Structure 1
Amino acid sequence: MTQTDIDQILSLVHEGNKLAAVKLLMDTAHIGLKEAKDIIDDVFLGKETDINERVKRVSYSDTAERFTAESGPNGENPHFFYHKGSIKEEVTPAHPMWERIKTVFAPIEGLPADIARMRENYAKAIEEMEAKAGYTPKKNAQTTQKGQAPNRKEQASSDKKDTLFIKKSPLDFLKWYFYLFIAAAIVYMIYLFINH
């Protein structure tokens, strides 16, 4: 995180706009919602003074999920990513997490002008990617109005089935047969050893 990011976050907190501060902290530090909310609450209450140090202490477990976007220096050609633990996967309209990307990077009112402009660029890029791919939203997909914060609880429950983005191979069931074979071989070897 840069000092400019921290100054913007502190400014939002002092203005009383904690929601925008949490969102900005999540986007710039690439941490989860709960961690960002805890940090902003502590800053608001005066319990935390060094945001960078606190962010460094946040560690991800193997099940932590987050979304990031990367673009060129002027915000051109953005790419969206889904992270789960240490795994990073690019998200396109064909990806099961696409609807959540649309929700996470939807424009939000009350952000500083440069951050709002960046998010508008992301929203525009999302529309262009959908048009290029011929994407049509899922039947149960929720649309987010421009300027409204997305309802993350509803979105998370609708995407519950998509939270494991790594597709299973049709041959995954064979690994259990392999484990059973190894266990049977060990038992048989012990049996032979005891009887000889």
Structure 2
Amino acid sequence: MDTPRVPAREAARHELSKPMYHENDPNPLQRALDHLWNWIGDILASASGAAPGGPVGLALLVVVVIALIAALLWRLGTPQRPLRAADALFASGPLGATEHRAAAEAHAAAGRWSQAVQERMRAIVRSLEQRALLDTRPGRTADEAAAEAGRTLPDHATRLRAAARAFDDVTYGGRSADQQTYLTMATLDLDLESATPQLSGALAGAAE
């Protein structure tokens, strides 16, 4: 007597569902990628059939589109990153130069040179503000502070710019500072403490 068709189909489905028959099946990611490549292949095949000249014409069309995009990007130039609040030199609340120096030394003692460089740069700028060599201005960047301080202390202008660049490298550039970078900045901080500012013409005449 023959096995009924429906029970036989169910028995076959049950047998084929056993893991032993699916050990070499592709995983879900592989299946998804296969579907994706098949879909892309279908699109390219359709496009090559519709484009003048077939596949060669499609390739030329792609090259032209890429050239147009490159020309547009070159014409517009690299978009400038707008200044954000996070770019400001002082991200935390108002602290004095002494507190920033203490924080820098604590980071240095623990070998956290990047954080030590950041705090030492903040100490430099805060010290100049406390001495009235820089006006206290929220949102100022390290580069702006170095440029302004360099006009008052021209003998240290180059070192101030280098310190600001080191601050930017570790804060925004994703680079890591080392001990020498910190020691160089700490030396600059100490030298600025005893530096004599160069007065402008009006202030120099009043002082005389």
Fold match, TM over 0.5? no
What TM-score comes out, normalization by structure 1 length?
Answer: 0.23
Greater fraction of residues in strand: 1
Query: What's the TM-score, normalizing by structure 2?
Result: 0.22
Larger gyration radius, structure 1 or structure 2: 2
